[in-house]
Structure 1
């Protein structure tokens, strides 16, 4: 393993963690699910930090990282909906945004364009979403619920921002 590939290996580890925390979710072991989900969330920030700090960004990483993000969020939201851990309407709004961003990324890629880099507001949205999910899993319900209601408008704003950027990139 070379240092150049380290961010990509970290991203692959995040993808491999998905079935692990989903398993614990389905088994009802929310503490273990929260632990592995938190580990996954940490790797999301670590891989990008290393790639940017050491100038190790790659084409594979630019494709793999957003794919891992979307698979992570979509899978976790589907489980949260299935287990009724968070209000369904919140899940549906966030899930619709994630699927929309995922499909927009695919369309952008099909047009031969680079993926749109996430904005600060998009990164903030995901960080708060990860935190809200972790709080709910740890039964810190008041703050978890509060954070979900904060995440929704930020999520919607970031989706609109992303849409405008995608539209401009495709039709420029």
Structure 2
């Protein structure tokens, strides 16, 4: 790891047990703070990598791994703590696990990871916002946003599937 974006991504991975600990302990404010830092680093590491041409093979592996670990872990805690409706959580969780496993499969086929599309990035940004609103007890808007995220998540999963299919079978 010879570049700052990779270090930032590693920090994001290391933050996962920190905010999970605070969630489970019931310290939602601390959990929300560390989750917000994690979400911020998700956008920050990519920006730095693109802006200063610091993209790396390791970064292409670490960043999606950190994304999926972050989303999957937070969804599992939100399900466990019953903060968001289970059906919503399971739909989003299924999409994240599907994309995570698809990425692993394409990697084992010796193919590069599929770059996230705009709709996929938009979906994750909305999901982070919805989670943040729920954590801040702004339930009404948080719930509405979760219901907006679901169809966008499904569309992005279909988009990802089509790209993966084309990549594997071309």
TM-score after normalising by structure 2: 0.99
1:69 to 57, 67, 70: 67
- Name the CA distance, whole Å, in 2 between partners of 1:67 and 1:22: 17
Aligned to 2:90: 92
- Name the CA distance, whole Å, in 2 between partners of 1:146 and 1:14: 27
- Name the CA distance, whole Å, in 1 between partners of 2:48 and 2:99: 24
Aligned to 2:6: 8
What is the Cα deviation at residue 22 of structure 1?
0.2
Aligned to 1:49: 47
What is the Cα deviation at residue 135 of structure 1?
0.7
CA-to-aligned-CA distance 1:48-69 (integer Å, 9 cap, x gap): 0000011100000000000000
- In structure 1, the gaps of 5 or more residues are none
- Name the CA distance, whole Å, in 1 between partners of 2:16 and 2:145: 23
What is the Cα deviation at residue 12 of structure 1?
0.3
- In structure 2, the gaps of 5 or more residues are none
2:105 to 104, 107, 117: 107
CA-to-aligned-CA distance 1:127-153 (integer Å, 9 cap, x gap): 000010011011010111010000000
- Name the CA distance, whole Å, in 2 between partners of 1:127 and 1:34: 15
- Name the CA distance, whole Å, in 1 between partners of 2:130 and 2:23: 16
CA-to-aligned-CA distance 1:21-51 (integer Å, 9 cap, x gap): 0001000111111111010000000000000
TM-score after normalising by structure 1: 0.98
CA-to-aligned-CA distance 1:59-112 (integer Å, 9 cap, x gap): 000000000000000000000000000000000000000000000000000000
- Name the CA distance, whole Å, in 1 between partners of 2:15 and 2:133: 19
The structure 1 segments of at least 4 consecutive aligned residues displaced by more than 6 Å after TM superposition are none
